[in-house]
Structure 1
C-alpha cells in the first residue's frame, strides 16, 4: 500500500513539473475591427489589426476566420484568410454586420489549433431623408445585350424642387458615376438608359438612386445586379411547321435565334402548341432550335409558338422574350377505309394465296412425274440381265 502511495505521489510530481515547464499561450481576437464605406454604393471594406500578444510568436501560423452578412439576412458568408482586410458587396438598404476570430496554429501552442473569442461590428448607411421619399420598384432590363434601361417609381410627398439621381459603380472604376441619360415623367427622373459600353457583364454592378445635391435630401435606395441575369432577348424568328418526310405522322417545328447581340449558345426555348381551339400546352425547355411532335389525332389544324430566355450556362436568371408569331398547319384528316374496300382487299389476298398454293402443288407433281420416267429404263435392263 505504501509503495502504491509513493508511486502516485511520484507521478503527480512529474506531471506538475511538466505543466510548470510549459509556457501558457492565449490568443486574443483581432483589434480595430471595423467596416468602412469607400463610397462604392455597397462595396464595403472590412479591416482589422493583428493582436498585440502575437508579435513574438514566430513559429505560429496566424489566420483569421471572418463571417459577414446583411442585418436582415440569416445566411453568413465565411472565409479564412491571413490578410488584414476583405471587401464584399452588401445591400445598403439595410445594415451590414461582420464578426471575426483569431486562429493560431503551429509549434507555439500545445494544441493543434487555438481560437480566440469572436468579436463583432456593424455598419449602418446614412438614413437622410424621409422614408416616403424613397423610390419604389427599381428594375433594370438588359435588352438583347445592347442597352440597359433602369426604371423606378417616385416616392410620395416630394418637395417641388426635389429630383432623383442615379449613381453606379463596378469593380475597376475609380469612383461612382452619375447617369448620363435620364428618362422623365412630369420633369421627375424615373429612369436611366445605359449603352452596352457603359456597363460590363459577369461582375456585380452597384446602383444607388438618391436625391440630387441641389434638392432636399431624399432617402437613398440601393440595388446590386449582374447584367447577364437581367437579359431580355427578342422573340425567336422564322418559325416554320412542316410534316416530316420520313415519318408522315410527325410535325417538325423549326425556328431561328433572334438577330442581335444575344449569343445563340446562351439561349433556351419554350415551345407551346395547341390543336384547333384548345388552350396552349407547353413542352419541356430545350436549347435546340428544332422540335418534333407526333401529330394529334382527330384535329385538322395544329398551331405552335416559341419564346426564348438566357440559359443556365450563361446566367442565373433572366426574362422570357415575347412569344413568336404563332404558325399553324392543316393536317389532312385520317379517313377510315370503308368495309367494302377492306373486304375486297381480303378476298384479293386470299385469292393470291390460293393461286400461289396451286402453282406450288403443280410444280411439285411435275417434278415427281419426271423422276418416275427417268427411273423406268434402268429397272427394265436390270430385270433382263437377271434372266
Structure 2
C-alpha cells in the first residue's frame, strides 16, 4: 500500500489464519457455522448440528474442538460439553425455549505458542411448544414400576381444567424408532387419569421421555413433558413368606424369601419393624442387604415380662442398583408367643 499525501491509511485484519509454505498461523478463530437444533419428534430429545467454519477447513497443523453449552433439564444445571464431533444430542424440556451455544477451540502448533484460541459463540434457539389452552396442562405425573413388571403413570389435573378434557400420553426411549401412544389407559369415572406400561415396552438406565397432552371442546390442551429413568421408579412386591421360630438357645429366628416379581434379589434391601406389646411404639431396625436367597436374623430375649413382640418387613431397591426407589408395602406382622416377647431386640 502506498501512502498519498494528506491521506491516512487504516488496516483491518480479515484473515484470521494465514497459510505459509510450511504451516498455518492463527491469531483468532471463527465460531462454528450452520448451527441448528433439530426436533425428530422424540418428546424433548433433540439433535444439535454444526459445521466447521470455512477459515479452518484447510488446517493441517491444528487441533480443533468445540465447546457446547446448554441447560440440562434433567440435572437442572448448565452443562458444558467439549467434543471433536459436529453434532450432539440431549434432552430438553419443550415447555421452555431450548438455547444452545457452541464455540470453536483450536490448539497446537498453529496458535504460535498460545495454549488455546477460543472463538465467539454461535447461538441457536428452538422456541417452546406453548400451543394450547392457557393453564390447561396437567400439574404433575407420578410413575411407579411395580415389581419390575409394569409401570403406572398417574397424572394430577388442575382444579380449573376445561370440561370434557380428553388426555393422551406418549413415550419414547432410545430403543424406539418413534414415539408411541399409551397402549392401556387407566380410567376413573370414564376419564383418563393415567397409563399402564408393561416391562417389554420399558428400557432401564436410559432417558424415558413422556408427554401428556389432550383436547377439550375441540381445542388442544397445553402439553406437559417429563423425563425419568425406569430403574428409579421401582416398588417391590410385599414380602409374603415370613417365618418366625424360637431356637434352642432362647432366641427367635426371623426369615423371609425374596418378594415376587422381576426385581433381582441382589438389588434389594430390607427394613424390619418391631412393636413390643403396648409399652412402646414401633421400632425400625437398620436396613439389611439381601445377599442370599433367604435372609436370617436372630432376636434376643431381653425382658421376658413383655407380653409379645410383633415383627414385619418391607423392601426396596438399594443404591447400588438405582439412585432411588419406593419402599414396598409392609408384610403381614408375625408375633412371638404370649409372654415370650421383648421390647429391646438385638441382631446377631
Q: With structure 1 as the length reference, what TM-score do the two structures score?
A: 0.74
Contact (CA 8 Å) 2:43, 2:179: kept in 1 or not? yes
Q: SS of the residue aligned with 2:222?
A: coil
Q: Any idea what the Cα deviations from partners look like across 1:71-95, whole Å, max 9, x if unmatched? A: 7976222221111110011233333
Equivalent residue for 2:313? 306
Equivalent residue for 1:52? 54
User: Which structure features the higher share of strand residues?
Assistant: 2
The alpha carbon displacement at 1:24 in A equals 4.8
Picking from 327, 334, 338, the partner of 2:334 is 327
Q: Describe the shift of the 1:81–1:107 C-alpha distance in structure 2 as closer, same or farther (beyond 3 A).
A: same
Q: Describe the shift of the 1:131–1:308 C-alpha distance in structure 2 as closer, same or farther (beyond 3 A).
A: farther
Contact (CA 8 Å) 1:133, 1:156: kept in 2 or not? no
CA distance in 1, matches of 2:283, 2:33: 62
Equivalent residue for 1:252? 253
Equivalent residue for 2:91? 89
Alignment of 1:122-201 (within 5 A): 122-160=125-163, 162-201=165-204
Q: Which moved more, 1:49-58 or 1:290-299?
A: 290-299
Q: Describe the shift of the 1:48–1:213 C-alpha distance in structure 2 as closer, same or farther (beyond 3 A).
A: farther
Contact (CA 8 Å) 2:72, 2:91: kept in 1 or not? no
Q: Which runs of 5+ in 2 are unaligned?
A: 1-19, 342-348
Contact (CA 8 Å) 1:169, 1:206: kept in 2 or not? yes
Contact (CA 8 Å) 2:272, 2:284: kept in 1 or not? yes
Equivalent residue for 1:276? 277
Q: Describe the shift of the 1:162–1:329 C-alpha distance in structure 2 as closer, same or farther (beyond 3 A).
A: closer
Q: Describe the shift of the 1:158–1:302 C-alpha distance in structure 2 as closer, same or farther (beyond 3 A).
A: closer
Q: Describe the shift of the 1:332–1:154 C-alpha distance in structure 2 as closer, same or farther (beyond 3 A).
A: closer
The alpha carbon displacement at 1:185 in A equals 2.9
Picking from 22, 38, 47, the partner of 1:36 is 38
CA distance in 2, matches of 1:258, 1:299: 31
Q: Any idea what the Cα deviations from partners look like across 1:316-352, whole Å, max 9, x if unmatched? A: 1111110001111137569xxxxxxxxxxxxxxxxxx
Equivalent residue for 1:236? 239
Q: Which runs of 5+ in 1 are unaligned?
A: 1-20, 335-387
Equivalent residue for 2:300? 294
Equivalent residue for 1:362? none
Return the index of the structure with the highest Cα Rg: 1
CA distance in 1, matches of 2:258, 2:340: 33
Picking from 47, 60, 66, the partner of 1:64 is 66
The alpha carbon displacement at 1:234 in A equals 1.0
CA distance in 2, matches of 1:172, 1:238: 37
The alpha carbon displacement at 1:69 in A equals 1.1
Q: SS of the residue aligned with 2:231?
A: helix
Q: Describe the shift of the 1:239–1:186 C-alpha distance in structure 2 as closer, same or farther (beyond 3 A).
A: closer
Contact (CA 8 Å) 1:40, 1:176: kept in 2 or not? yes
Q: Describe the shift of the 1:285–1:124 C-alpha distance in structure 2 as closer, same or farther (beyond 3 A).
A: farther
Contact (CA 8 Å) 2:247, 2:253: kept in 1 or not? yes
Q: SS of the residue aligned with 2:200?
A: helix
Higher relative contact order (CA 8 A, sep 6+): 2
CA distance in 2, matches of 1:46, 1:69: 13
User: Which structure features the higher share of helix residues?
Assistant: 1
The alpha carbon displacement at 1:132 in A equals 2.5
The alpha carbon displacement at 1:138 in A equals 1.0
Q: SS of the residue aligned with 1:217?
A: strand
Q: Describe the shift of the 1:192–1:239 C-alpha distance in structure 2 as closer, same or farther (beyond 3 A).
A: same
